[in-house]
């Protein structure tokens, strides 16, 4: 078996074990309604994690995710409050996400700056810009949100309605998987993450690819911000602090190596579902503090990092 599939298989086993544990402990845990609610609750985290996957696959990272989502949320809410068309507001937000991501990609490549520091600067900038737009939460009462979005949901099983936010999450996963596995851009991302010097010798356009990677990450972060407004029906510049850590944890638990070059978007989907299932188990229990979710996720993350280290050691010996 190819070693690159081992983390993905481990992720699948953890997902099955988590789901089985919840189903055995709680009678209604395995129902379609709970699963659909899980997709809905984790939608904006999942969309952001897809974009984060590309950054990590290339050997980089994006710490600006949570701040970008909060910024887009308050931007959309403020534009709608001012009478802007919702589709125009979303288009402006997506354009900003792509432009900001491309800008960070340019800084990373042309100035040879560490992605950690560049995107950390982005984290502070986007958070601050959100407060500049409006310092408080803005509820969204536009007819598109209150009347149109509910009609875009559909029944998938008795008492289980698939909301539009969950469909956005699944669409992002499909798009990300296609770009990573079936395009030249995706192959270039893997090549850069595996060995940037070798990729350069192969004639791969390193600079252009890196800019595109962070532009794509910015697109998915902005898209996640839009999805978050669907879910929360509001925008708040103080929201989603630390969400980038959930996105990174989902990617790593999903089997993507932190060193880059190995990973799969479906694995990221499974990583997001694992995080969501852990939260659901804590909620169903009713007696455990919600902070146990973070403890379990931290333990899982540590286990997958150790697994990655062992695989890297084995590969070096062979």
pLDDT in tens, 211-259: 999 999 999 999 999 999 999 999 999 999 999 999 999 999 999 999 9
Residue 150 is predicted with a pLDDT of: 93
- pLDDT above 90: residue 313: no
- pLDDT above 80: residue 86: yes
DSSP 37-79: HHHHHTHHHHHHHHHHHHHHHTT-----HHHHHHHHHHHHHHH
Structure confidence at residue 316 as a pLDDT band (50, 70, 90): low
- Could you tell me which residue, 287 or 204, shows the higher pLDDT? 204
DSSP 239-277: --TTHHHHHHHHHHHTT--TTSS---HHHHHHHHHHHHH
Summarize the confidence of residues 284-305 as an average pLDDT: 87
- pLDDT above 90: residue 307: no
Structure confidence at residue 292 as a pLDDT band (50, 70, 90): confident
Structure confidence at residue 318 as a pLDDT band (50, 70, 90): low
The answer to whether 213 and 55 have CB atoms below 8 angstroms apart is: yes
Structure confidence at residue 159 as a pLDDT band (50, 70, 90): confident
- Closest alpha carbon to 216 in 257, 188, 245: 188
Residue 312 is predicted with a pLDDT of: 73
- Closest alpha carbon to 247 in 41, 15, 10, 66: 66
* Mean of pLDDT over the chain: 94
Summarize the confidence of residues 299-303 as an average pLDDT: 92
Distance separating alpha carbons of residues 284 and 25, to the nearest angstrom: 9
Summarize the confidence of residues 188-202 as an average pLDDT: 97
Q: Does domain 3-317 have CATH number 1.10.3470?
A: yes
- Closest alpha carbon to 296 in 307, 282, 306: 282
Phi and psi at 151, nearest 5°, equal -75, -15
- pLDDT above 70: residue 70: yes
Residue 81 is predicted with a pLDDT of: 97
Could you tell me the pTM of the whole model?
0.95
Summarised one tens digit per residue, pLDDT across range 253-288 is 999 999 999 999 999 999 999 999 999 998 888 777
Domain borders along the chain are: 3-317
Residue 161 is predicted with a pLDDT of: 92
Helix axes 292-317, 6-25, angle to 10 degrees: 150
Highest mean pLDDT pick, 4-8, 207-211, 280-284, 289-293:
207-211
Summarize the confidence of residues 120-136 as an average pLDDT: 98
Mean pLDDT lowest among 74-78, 268-272, 310-314: 310-314
Structure confidence at residue 310 as a pLDDT band (50, 70, 90): confident
């Amino acid at each position: 078996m190819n070693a690159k599939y081992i983390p993905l298989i481990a992720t699948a086993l953890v997902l099955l074990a988590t789901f089985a544990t919840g189903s055995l402990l709680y009678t209604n845990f395995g129902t379609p309604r709970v699963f659909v609610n899980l997709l809905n609750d984790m939608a904006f985290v999942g969309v952001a994690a897809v974009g984060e996957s590309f950054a990590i696959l290339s050997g980089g990272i994006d710490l600006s995710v949570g701040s970008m989502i909060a910024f887009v949320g308050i931007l959309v809410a403020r534009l709608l409050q001012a009478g802007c068309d919702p589709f125009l507001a979303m288009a402006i937000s997506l354009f900003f996400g792509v432009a900001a991501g491309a800008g960070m990609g340019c800084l990373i490549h042309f100035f040879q700056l560490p992605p950690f520091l560049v995107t950390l600067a982005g984290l502070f900038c986007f958070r601050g810009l959100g407060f500049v737009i409006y310092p408080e939460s803005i509820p969204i009462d536009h007819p598109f949100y209150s009347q149109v979005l509910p009609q875009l949901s559909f029944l998938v099983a008795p008492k289980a309605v698939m909301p539009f936010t969950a469909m956005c999450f699944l669409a992002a996963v499909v798009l990300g998987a296609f770009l990573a596995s079936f395009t030249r851009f995706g192959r270039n991302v893997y090549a850069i993450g595996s060995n940037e010097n070798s990729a350069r010798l192969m004639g791969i356009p390193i600079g252009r690819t890196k800019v595109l990677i962070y532009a794509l990450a910015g697109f998915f972060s902005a898209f996640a911000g839009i999805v978050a407004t669907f879910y929360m029906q509001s925008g708040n510049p103080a929201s989603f602090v630390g969400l980038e850590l959930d996105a990174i944890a989902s990617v790593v638990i999903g089997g993507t190596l932190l060193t880059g070059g190995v990973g799969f978007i479906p694995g990221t989907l499974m990583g997001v579902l694992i995080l969501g299932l852990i939260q659901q188990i804590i909620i169903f229990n009713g007696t455990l503090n919600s902070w146990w979710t973070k403890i379990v996720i931290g333990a899982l993350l540590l286990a997958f990092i150790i697994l990655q280290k062992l695989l890297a050691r084995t590969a070096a010996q062979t």
